[in-house]
Chains A and B, each alone.
Chain A
Amino acid sequence: MAEFLMYFTNGLVIGVINAISAIGVSLIVGIMRVINFAHGELYIFAGYFSYHLSLTFGLSPILAMPLSVFFIFLIGILMERLLIRPTYGDEMYSLIITFVLSIVLQNSALLIFGPYPNKPPALISGSTQIFGLFHYGNQRLLSFGISIGILLFVFYLIKKTWFGKSVRAISQDREMASLMGIDHWRINMISFGLGAALAGSAGVIIAPIFPVTPTGSSAISLTAFVVVVLGGMGSLKGCVVGGLILGILENLGAAYVSTMYRHIFAFIILILVLVFRPWGLFGQKT
């Protein structure tokens, strides 16, 4: 029982991180109809940034984490300006560009950071007993807390602020949104930066638990895409529920079936959703 609960808790922790990463993808798809294949690489880069900022440059991890996310935000903004903006209106081009970029970034990561897994220092050590049943690492509990905080922040941003409302308006009807006086070029750029920053946040949160490697990035993108499809295109709630379901299933599956199948589970879920409910759990049936 205690063992099951521990795997389940692992699933929750990974689940909320999945959710953050998936919202990054979903936001960009929803507003610009662009699928960012380089999503996983941005996630990995953030992990390496926080590793090097704290270990090579001696910054406190509390500073290294947000600073890494900020760098990824800037990279996202640059990507949109230089590579994505010229492709608007042609989804095929943006697909090819982000795909090529993902390969370029993955190889750069290999060149710059080397092939070895790097684990930034933990923010906190020790463990806490949960309900008197099992001990759970404090770093993981903290990661869970930070992730929940980020999710609440994103929900607030999208539901309540002018920026969030413009994002939703553009996702529904881009032309009408511009007739409201919304400068959609600017909103696109910021949203792309935000999508990247969310990939980066997931990366810096997970890196102290599971070290990042350059070759891990494709699986990270895959997971994010599966969560978006499972939750339903354009649904924040869907990303959270989808992220949790995938996190829990993968962790229980890895514990009780085999770790070898971890990514197979994601793939099976993807197929099942596409066959039985292609619009996802919370998506709009069109």
Chain B
Amino acid sequence: MLEIKAIDVFRGEAQILWNLQMKVEKGEVVTVLGANGAGKTTLVESILGIHHPKKGEILFMDEEISQKPPYLITQMGISCVPEGRRIFKEMTVYENLEMGAYPAKARPLLKTTQDWVFSLFPILKERRNQIAGTLSGGEQQMLAIGRALMSRPMLLLLDELSLGLSPKITKGIYGTIRKLHQEGVTMLLIEQNATMALLHSQRGYILETGRIALQGSSQELLGNEHIRKAYLGM
């Protein structure tokens, strides 16, 4: 579904991603682990068309997208839960969800998709008329996921889901990720906090200073000595 072929990505003068290769197949959940500043967000933003690689290709459904603007990539079926959630704080919960359904393909399904999102996150239904900026951190994360689902994406990118959330809320949110996987949503989980992500994915990549240092099944990575030390704090 997604294939990244040897991309080099720069931010200003600085090269952040080096000859990066990776793949996500339909129906898979794939984890990308990396320390602070490894380039995880840059990778997400390159897939989304915010940064354009100087070299290499990004194929989505066999179409080259690396030079397309973000709004076209979203319309093609990739959506994201960005780092820091970035919900529209001055809009209501309901309006945030509506914005997610902006692509023409998603609009006719707005009502059914919304019922689906409300069934995943009943609290959002209760708060639908509340101004989004007044939600708690966990609720804002749920809203960000809900908003991303509203476009009926084929591929969902999630950048640091657990950032700033209590272990209990993180667990709840990963429960939803499991449900989404069972419903067939393809996902790329970007995490610094590795255990949860590896437990909920099939494969993983380790990103170190902009390069893929290691890859394998999530099981293998969970058992790897180096990774246990560096990312799992064990």
Contacts and interface: CB of A to CB of B under 8 A. Distances in A.
Given A168-B88, A175-B70, A180-B74, 11 more contacts: A166-B99, A169-B99, A173-B86, A173-B88, A175-B50, A176-B82, A179-B80, A180-B100, A180-B151, A181-B103, A183-B69
A181 B99 CA distance: 9
How big is chain B's contact interface, by range? 20 to 34
B91 A181 contact: no
B3 interface: no
B201 interface: no
A165 interface: yes
Contacts of A127: none
B50 A180 contact: no
B48 interface: yes
Contacts of B48: 179
Contact of B74 (A165, A181, A284): A181
Contacts of B70: 175, 178-179
A183 B49 CA distance: 13
26 contacts: A165-B91, A165-B98, A166-B102, A168-B88, A168-B91, A173-B86, A175-B70, A176-B82, A176-B88, A177-B99, A178-B74, A179-B70, A179-B74, A179-B80, A179-B82, A180-B74, A180-B100, A180-B147, A180-B151, A181-B71, A181-B74, A181-B103, A182-B71, A182-B102, A183-B69, A284-B90
B215 interface: no
B95 interface: yes
Interface residues of A, number: 18
The 3 residue pairs across chains A and B that have the minimum distance between CB atoms: A181-B103, A181-B74, A178-B70
Given A172-B90, A181-B151, A165 B99 contact: yes
A184 interface: yes
Contacts of A182: 71, 102
Interface string B23-50: 0000000000000000000000000101
B90 A168 contact: yes
Contacts of A183: 69, 71
Contacts of B90: 168, 172, 284
Interface string A134-165: 00000000000000000000000000001001
A169 B132 CA distance: 13
Nearest to B87: A176
B78 to A, nearest CB: 9
Interface in A98-136: none
A234 to B, nearest CB: 9
Nearest to A284: B90
